[in-house]
Amino acid sequence: MRLFLSFIFISKLILLTACSNESNQIYEKSTKKSFAEVIQDSEFAITENNFRITNRLHIGDAIQKRGNTDFPKNEVILFCNLTIAEEMLKIEPRYINYCPYKVTATEYKKKIIIGTRLLPVNTGNKQMDLIAKNINKKLRSMVEYAASEDPFILEYN
């Protein structure tokens, strides 16, 4: 009995660890482009992928206005596609926690880091996994475009 309980505990621990790591996967690229160029290219990639920008969080500017004038630029762009959201939430209502999607830009050591949080793709629900894989492909493409020096490449493989 003790061995069985230990097995159950370890199995749950492994499952929780795998899920928490997967759902917090951050995808990042860096560039030497200016912060303004990265924001502009991020916005372009978002709209070209048929998403609507819903809000912007100017975190770096807000901290600078509070008196820390040396604080680096940081921005979060929030966006959504209601058709995709509806499809996703019909399958798994708890995925509202991944809405809206976001792309971040952070000034760090004379570079700009562009990132996004990917959706989990090994949920055990094949429909949800397929949607998440497609969304993740688009999110990666947006980050890669924003980091790219080539303005004519929108989709990466």
Q: What is the pLDDT of residues 121-145, one digit of tens each?
A: 998 999 999 999 999 999 999 999 9
How wide is the angle at C-alpha 87 spanned by C-alphas 154 and 83, nearest 5°?
A: 55
In a domain, 143, yes or no: yes
In a domain, 152, yes or no: no
Residue 118 domain boundaries: 26-147
Cβ neighbours around 22 below 10 Å, total: 15
In a domain, 3, yes or no: no
Q: Are 37 and 75 in contact (CB under 8 A)?
A: no
In a domain, 17, yes or no: no
User: Does 7 score more than 80 pLDDT?
Assistant: no
In a domain, 132, yes or no: yes
Cβ neighbours around 133 below 10 Å, total: 12
Domain containing residue 97: CATH number? 3.30.310.70
User: Residue 143 belongs to what H/E stretch?
Assistant: helix 126-147
Nearest CA to 83 among 51, 37, 111?
51
In a domain, 155, yes or no: no
User: Does 1 score more than 60 pLDDT?
Assistant: no
Structural domain count, the chain: 1
In a domain, 121, yes or no: yes
* Average pLDDT for 86-106: 94
The residues with which 102 forms a beta bridge, in sequence order, are: 78
- Rounded to two decimals, what is the model's pTM? 0.80
In a domain, 18, yes or no: no
Q: Are 76 and 116 in contact (CB under 8 A)?
A: no
pLDDT in tens, 48-70: 999 999 999 999 999 999 999 99
Q: How many Å apart are CA 33 and CA 114, to the nearest integer? A: 11
Q: Are 45 and 145 in contact (CB under 8 A)?
A: yes
Owner of token pair 């688009």: 138
Nearest CA to 95 among 121, 77, 115?
121
